[in-house]
């Protein structure tokens, strides 16, 4: 994504990486983890060509 922001001169301050690539759970399933280490179930938002093109046209990240 850094290459995209530089190449198309898009401001990346509004881009939230974890919305599109959330943390993975790893090998240990949630039911075996202590409460403080449970990983929430988060579905990633789709990152489409349309979102990339529209943000490049605007010069800043448009989607949240």
pLDDT per position as a tens digit, 12-25 = 999 999 999 988 77
Helix, strand, coil % over all residues of the chain, rounded to 5: 40, 5, 55
pLDDT, mean of residues 17-45: 86
Q: Please measure the distance between the N-terminal and C-terminal CA atoms of the chain and give it in whole angstroms.
A: 16
Least reliable range by pLDDT among 19-23, 25-29, 43-47: 25-29
Residue 26 pLDDT: 79
- Report the Cα 33 to chain-centroid distance in Å: 25
**pTM (2 d.p.):** 0.72
Q: Which two tokens stand for residue 37?
A: 């280490």
């Amino acid at each position: 994504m850094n290459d995209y922001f530089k190449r198309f001169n898009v401001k990346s301050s509004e881009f939230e990486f974890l919305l599109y690539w959330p943390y993975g759970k790893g090998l240990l399933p949630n039911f075996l983890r202590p409460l403080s280490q449970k990983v929430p179930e988060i579905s990633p938002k789709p990152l489409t060509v349309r979102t990339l093109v529209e943000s490049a046209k605007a010069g800043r990240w448009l989607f949240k």
